Structure 1
Amino acid sequence: MTVARVGRDDRLDGAGIDDVLALARVAGDADGAEPLDEAVLLRLRDPQAAAVHLSARTPEGRLVGYAHLDVTAPAGGTGLDLVVHPTYRRRGLGRALATAALADVDGRVPVGTVRAWAHGDHPAAAALAVDLGLVRARVLWQMRRSLTGPLTAPDLPAGVTLRAFQPGRDDDAWLALNARAFADHPEQGRWTAADLRLRLAEPWFDPDGFLLAVEESTGRLLGFHWTKVHQRAGSTPIGEVYVLGVDPTAHRGGLGRVLTAAGLAYLRERRGLNRVMLYVDESNTAAVALYLRLGFAHWCAHVNYHRG
C-alpha cells in the first residue's frame, strides 16, 4: 500500500476542493457515472455548509481517495459519498475510507442513519456495502434519449400558458409548489430558500430554461420543468430534465407530458443539444412509464444504501 492514512477535515481550502473535483472527474470518466452528486458539489463550494471531509493521499501528497459526510440534517441521517482513483482501487482504500466514515458517524450522539450512494451501481460498491452492514434501500435510474428524432409538440391545456422563471419574483411561489409536488420525496420536497439560491447562483443556471406553467386567470403556478445543461471540457454537452413537477390539483390533465415536451424542445431548439438525460426513482412507476413513452431508455442506476 502506497497510500498514507486517512485524514479528516471539517473544511477544505481552495486547493483541497480543486483536488476533490479533479479526482471526481478522473473517476467519472473511468466509470461512466459521476461519483459525487450535485448536493455534495454544492456543499463543497459553500463555505457555510457543514460537512466532514475524509481524504487519502499518497506520500507525495496526491489525493487518491475521498469521502464526504453530509452532517447538515442529523435527524434525517448522515449522507456518505465516496470516490477512489481508478489506479488505486483493489487496495483496500475504499474500505478504509468507508470504515473511517462510519466510525465518525458512530462517534456522534445520537447515532443516526447512514445513507450512502453508489453511483453507477458498481459491483465493488455493492460488495463493500454488504460487508459493512449497509442495506440496499433505493434505486435511482438515469434515463436518456436522443433529441435528433421527432419530439412531441407541447399542446398546452386551455387556460394555461408557459413562461420563464423570474428569480426574486417566483422564488416563494415555486418553493411552495415544489413542496406540494414532491411532498413524499426524501430530498426534493424539502428544498429551502437557501437550497434554491445556491442553484440560482450556479454558472449553469438559465432562467429561460426554467419553464413555468401558469393558470392565466389567476397567475397560479401549476407546474414546472427546470432544465439544465452539463458542459465539461472535452465532452459533448448533454441536457437534463433537472426537476419536473406538477401541482397535485393539476394531475391527470396531461400537464407533466406537455411540460416534458416543452423542455425537450427548448434544449434542442434553443440550446442546440442532441441528447438529454434525467433521473427518476425506480419505484416511481408512473413517471418511468411516462418517460418510456416519451422515448427515454434506461442508461444506468444509482443505489442508495442505508444503515441504522
Structure 2
Amino acid sequence: MSSTEPTGDQVSRANRLGPAESADVLALVRAAGDADGADPVDEHVLFRLRDEQAPAIHLLARADDGTLTGYAHLDTTDPANGVEVALVVHPAYRRRGSGRALARGVLAAATGPLRGWAHGDHPSAAALAVDLGFRRARVLWQLRRPLTAPSSDPRLPDGVTLRAFRPGEDDAAWLALNARAFADHPEQGRWTADDLRVRLAEPWFDPAGFLLAVEPATGRLLGFHWTKVHERPGSARIGEVYVLGVDPSAHGGGLGRALTTAGLAYLRERRGLDRVMLYVDESNTAAVALYERLGFARWSAHVNYQLD
C-alpha cells in the first residue's frame, strides 16, 4: 500500500507505489509508447517502478472515475545534478489538462534544478517545456539501419580477441572500463554494481550478445559491445547497440568499428534480426560519423530539457 496526499487538479502524490498502482503506471507507459512510436520513459524509470523500495516521488493524475490519465516520476537521488523528471499522459486523455496539472505538481514537489527527456521530440512536450521556462539542453538521436545484408568480418587490432561477458566474473572489470570509457557522460559513466545487476537479471539479457574485447596477454578489457533485443507483442523484433565503449587508451586503432561490426553480425546471424537501432548524443560527432559510415541513418530524436 502507498500513502498519498492530494495536490489538487486530481493529482495525488506518493512516495511509494503499491503493486496495483505500479501495474496501472506500466500499462499507461505501454499505451503511450504504442501510440507515439517511442517509449515515454527511460529504462531506469521502469526498473524503479518494479522496485517498490526505490526512493522517488510519484505524481498520479486520475479522472473522476479513478482512471489513471497521467503520471510523473521524480528521481531525487542525485541532488547535485538536480531532479530527473519523467512525465507521460495517456493518449486517450491528452489535451485535457492532465499534462499541465502534472507539470504544476512537479514544480511544487521539486527543489533545485529540473531535467527531463521528451522522447520522440513530441510537439506537445516541446510546447509545455517552453511554456514552463525549460531550455533545450541535449539531443539524443535514435539511428537505425537494416541487417538484411551480411556484415563484413570485424577487423580487430593486433593482439585483441573477442569473447562473451561472464556474469559474476567480469562485473568489476567491466564497471571500471565503463567508467573510463564514459567518464564525461552524465548517465552511463556513473553506473554502479546495482545498475549492472538489475540489467543482468532482465529477461532480455544474453551473455553471448555482450561482447568483450580482451588483450589475451594480460586479460585486460579494452572495449565492449552489449547488444539487446526488443521483443514486444504486436511489434516486430529489433536489435539494439545497447552500450558500446572503448578504453581511452585503445582509441584510434579501429576497435570501435570492429566491435560494432561484431555485434551487428551477432544480431543478424545468431538472433535472426533484420534491423537494428542505437542511441547517440548529437554532440558526439565522432560516434555519429562512425555509425553513419556503417549505414545507420537518423530515425527520431529525444530532447533533454532543463530548468535551472
Same fold flag (TM > 0.5): yes
Deviation at 1:4, TM superposition (A): 6.2
Corresponding residue of 2:5: none
Corresponding residue of 1:108: none
1:247-280 deviation line (CA, Å, top 9, x unaligned) = 0000000000000000011111111111110000
Say whether residues 1:100 and 2:142 are aligned partners: no
Q: Is the 8 A contact 2:61 2:70 kept in 1?
A: yes
For residues 165 and 47 of structure 1, what CA distance do their matches in structure 2 show? 29
The secondary structure found in structure 1 opposite 2:39 is: coil
Mapping of residues 210-229 of structure 1, within 5 Å = 210-229=210-229
Q: Is the 8 A contact 2:18 2:52 kept in 1?
A: no
Say whether residues 1:64 and 2:69 are aligned partners: yes
Corresponding residue of 1:53: 58
Deviation at 1:59, TM superposition (A): 2.0
Q: Is the 8 A contact 2:9 2:101 kept in 1?
A: no
The secondary structure found in structure 1 opposite 2:31 is: helix
Amino acid at match of 2:11: V
Percent identity, aligned pairs only, is 74
For residues 4 and 148 of structure 1, what CA distance do their matches in structure 2 show? 51
Please, which moves more after superposition, 226-235 or 243-252?
226-235
Say whether residues 1:231 and 2:228 are aligned partners: no
Q: Is the 8 A contact 1:181 1:189 kept in 2?
A: yes
Aligned with residue 82 of structure 2, among 64, 67, 77: 77
Aligned with residue 24 of structure 1, among 25, 29, 39: 29
For residues 18 and 274 of structure 1, what CA distance do their matches in structure 2 show? 32
Mapping of residues 174-189 of structure 1, within 5 Å = 174-189=174-189
- Divergent runs of 4+, >3 A: none
Corresponding residue of 2:193: 193
Amino acid at match of 1:6: V
For residues 209 and 5 of structure 1, what CA distance do their matches in structure 2 show? 45
Deviation at 1:241, TM superposition (A): 0.3
Amino acid at match of 2:225: H
Amino acid at match of 2:96: R
The secondary structure found in structure 2 opposite 1:23 is: helix
Q: Is the 8 A contact 1:4 1:59 kept in 2?
A: no
Q: Is the 8 A contact 1:19 1:63 kept in 2?
A: yes
Say whether residues 1:7 and 2:6 are aligned partners: no
Deviation at 1:184, TM superposition (A): 0.2
1:198-220 deviation line (CA, Å, top 9, x unaligned) = 11111111111100000011010
Instruction: Give the structure-2-normalised TM-score.
Output: 0.96
Corresponding residue of 1:153: 153
The secondary structure found in structure 1 opposite 2:253 is: coil
The secondary structure found in structure 2 opposite 1:241 is: strand
Say whether residues 1:247 and 2:247 are aligned partners: yes
Instruction: Give the structure-1-normalised TM-score.
Output: 0.96
Amino acid at match of 1:197: R
What stretches of structure 1 of length at least 5 have no aligned partner?
A: 106-110
The secondary structure found in structure 1 opposite 2:40 is: coil
Say whether residues 1:138 and 2:138 are aligned partners: yes
For residues 233 and 298 of structure 2, what CA distance do their matches in structure 1 show? 25
The secondary structure found in structure 2 opposite 1:19 is: helix
RMSD: 1.1
For residues 48 and 140 of structure 1, what CA distance do their matches in structure 2 show? 30
Aligned with residue 93 of structure 2, among 67, 71, 88: 88
Corresponding residue of 1:35: 40
Deviation at 1:163, TM superposition (A): 0.5
Q: Is the 8 A contact 1:4 1:58 kept in 2?
A: no
For residues 30 and 9 of structure 2, what CA distance do their matches in structure 1 show? 22
Deviation at 1:48, TM superposition (A): 2.9
For residues 71 and 192 of structure 2, what CA distance do their matches in structure 1 show? 28
Corresponding residue of 2:4: none
Say whether residues 1:113 and 2:118 are aligned partners: no
Deviation at 1:112, TM superposition (A): 1.9
Amino acid at match of 1:171: D
For residues 86 and 135 of structure 1, what CA distance do their matches in structure 2 show? 25
The secondary structure found in structure 2 opposite 1:204 is: coil
Q: Is the 8 A contact 2:150 2:265 kept in 1?
A: no
For residues 47 and 205 of structure 1, what CA distance do their matches in structure 2 show? 22
